[in-house]
Structure 1
Amino acid sequence: MTDQKPTIAERLRQLRCVVLIPTYNNAKTLVRVIHGVMELTPDIIVVNDGATDNTALLLKEFPQITQVHLPVNKGKGNALQIGFQAALENNYDFAITIDSDGQHFPEDIEVFIDALEKENTKNVLYIGARNMNQSDVPGKSSFGNKFSNFWFWFETGIWLTDTQCGYRLYPLREIEKLRLLTPKFEFEIEVIVKASWQGTLVKNIPVKILYDEDERVSHFRTIPDFTRISIVNTWLVLVALFYIKPRDLYRNLKKKGVKKFLFEDMLGSSDSPGKKASSIALGVFIGFSPFWGLHTLLVLLLAFVFKLNKPIAFAFSNVSLPPFIPFIVLFSLQLGSWALGEPFVLSLESISTDFSFLTNLRSYVVGSLILAVVGAFVFGTIGYLMLTYFGKRKIAVNNG
């Protein structure tokens, strides 16, 4: 006699997982979504985000599920956070969020459970990955998703195929630690970026999708909501550039030491010596270039465009560390003056104090670009020779 497989409801309870449904003016589809979820589990929380249709009346048919009724609509992000708090108060560890507009299939809840049970860590946030190439997917949704995917990659270094799907599994204890500020649709970007920064594994899992324009009511307002998302992404990019990426680099260096970090994280990847050397050259070029304040943005963007090694390029772009900046500026000015045939009399002290070198701006720009090209060639060539040499030695040792 074989043991009977646990039901989805039993598996959800073992994981202490609840299904959370935020809703606002989706009376056409809400009941069907609730019934679909109830076929799988009774552990449901519905957050009525100040609906002005007959949502409150419809929910009276479901006294057996937990309900939160907000007096005024404040946005999906606010509704989700209130739902998370209600789940925590009921001692749940995870919440699967499903939209109430009928686009998600409740049976895909099992996909989330299967993934979570197999995962090595429980500090994980799953985002449903929709097939955005379906014929019924609106063009603006597909474009917005690609836009969001790019910026999520830039902010976290993680590439996902879908960052906007509302069908998700959240690790509530970890989300509770985050300082989340946004109340509307942009919340779903903020939460996954900040969760990733804090060490939560963020992954896609495939889910089905249905866009029925006759039933579906979308509350996404293209111009104002896209603007809000863009503002949030701008802020997250700045935080990533000036705090998160330097913090992670410093932590890695401190944890492993310079030698181990160089060989394991940068030189130990499977990239060819040519690709690694090109990444070094790109980093040095950007580090010596005159585009101050944009070095990190440029190096990561160009490394992505040219499919180079981003950690190596980023690390070598830091050749222009603050203590070296006066020397780099002085040498660039001298190179530029020589190249342009212009007189140049300037000391290292004047660069550090009165910034009179700005009168020689043309010389500086030309000189810094010359230095960037020469530096990229020299560092790239040396890097290629060293990587090729050590690569051959490693092969010889392994074969010996």
Structure 2
Amino acid sequence: MQHSGIPVSAPSTRVLVIVPAWNERANVAETVAEIRAADARYDVLVVDDGSTDDTADVARSAGALVLVLPFNLGVGGAMRAGFHYALRHNYQAAIQVDADGQHNPADIAQIVAALTTADIAIGARFADVGTYTAKGPRRWAMVLLGRALSGIARTRLTDVTSGFRAAGPRAIQQYVDYYPAEYLGDTVDSLVGALRAGLTVTQVPVAMRPRRHGQPSQGAIGSTIYLLRSAFALLIAVTRPASSNVQEHSA
């Protein structure tokens, strides 16, 4: 199922915006400000993933809640810590927004709104919105992953590597129980685990923006290699026994 043009109203549930950040002092304050401007009722949690700069202080000064990890775990580890916080504090929805400015906080409301019909809502590129493109082996790997996971999810998914995704109550619990720390495992492998645990997924077309400052942790070549590895890892992931943990929790 894909949502487009969803009528978005004021959120009736408590929403936690989780911002994983590693050495993002140049970007994090503006990202926090944009999230708060999108809706003042969002709670913003910056998870400082072992930064060696003053990311935590900058985020705190911008008005965010800050969780500082003692060393760098990667996006998956930072997000899992954020989901633990969401579960402990009884949030009904949690959504990842990257600190580098690529995710537009104005899209948070429509992604969270899609949780009325699914446990997980992905803000998807390659869904007829925006100008984001990928070429060569990187694009082939993304198409392969999208098609494979579309088959498992029984709905069209165009961007299974997008980190711009929201989780409802059952998905928050699932992600506390299982959320890989390795690069792309937090998107692809975590989605496989959720689907095999019986959770449902939808996507919302969004446009991604360029990174504001600095360089991504993985360059184009590194990202392509990891995507190809993820395609292989997907074949292994789908053979794992399905988890029944989530079924024990009420929605």
Which residue number in structure 2 is paired with residue 55 of structure 1? Answer: 55
Deviation digits for residues 51-90 of structure 1 (CA, Å, limit 9, x no counterpart) = 223312312313x432101121110000000000011111
Give the structure with the higher percent helix.
Answer: 1
For normalisation by structure 1, the TM-score amounts to: 0.51
Query: Which of the numbers 162, 167, 173 marks the counterpart of 1:176?
Result: 173
Deviation digits for residues 85-114 of structure 1 (CA, Å, limit 9, x no counterpart) = 011111112101111111111111121233
Residues 1-400 of structure 1 mapped to structure 2, 5 A cutoff: 8=10, 11=11, 14-39=12-37, 40-41=39-40, 42-62=42-62, 64-117=63-116, 119=117, 123-131=118-126, 137=133, 139=135, 142-153=139-150, 155-177=152-174, 179-180=177-178, 182-185=180-183, 186-212=185-211, 215=213, 217-221=215-219, 227=225, 230-231=228-229, 233-241=231-239
2:27 is paired with a residue of what secondary structure?
A: helix
Determine what percentage of the aligned residue pairs are the same residue: 24
Deviation digits for residues 340-364 of structure 1 (CA, Å, limit 9, x no counterpart) = xxxxxxxxxxxxxxxxxxxxxxxxx
Q: CA deviation at 1:37?
A: 0.5
2:201 is paired with a residue of what secondary structure?
A: strand
**Residues 127 and 206 in structure 2, CA contact (< 8 A), matched pair in contact too:** no
Aligned CA distance change for structure 1 residues 92 and 219 (closer, same or farther; 3 Å): same
CA RMSD, aligned part only?
3.0
2:238 is paired with a residue of what secondary structure?
A: helix
Aligned CA distance change for structure 1 residues 241 and 56 (closer, same or farther; 3 Å): closer
Distance 2:204 2:131 in 1: 21
How many residues align? The count is 229
Give the structure with the higher percent strand.
Answer: 2
**Residues 103 and 216 in structure 1, CA contact (< 8 A), matched pair in contact too:** no
Higher RCO structure (Cα 8 Å, ≥6 apart):
2
Aligned CA distance change for structure 1 residues 142 and 26 (closer, same or farther; 3 Å): farther
Aligned CA distance change for structure 1 residues 93 and 163 (closer, same or farther; 3 Å): same
For normalisation by structure 2, the TM-score amounts to: 0.77
Q: CA deviation at 1:171?
A: 2.1
Amino acid at match of 2:156: W
Amino acid at match of 1:146: V
Amino acid at match of 1:126: A
Distance 2:196 2:19 in 1: 26
Deviation digits for residues 221-259 of structure 1 (CA, Å, limit 9, x no counterpart) = 555665555555434424535856xxxxxxxxxxxxxxx
Aligned CA distance change for structure 1 residues 159 and 7 (closer, same or farther; 3 Å): closer
The answer for unaligned runs of 5 or more in structure 1 is 1-5, 245-400
Amino acid at match of 1:192: L
Aligned CA distance change for structure 1 residues 71 and 240 (closer, same or farther; 3 Å): closer
Aligned CA distance change for structure 1 residues 143 and 100 (closer, same or farther; 3 Å): farther
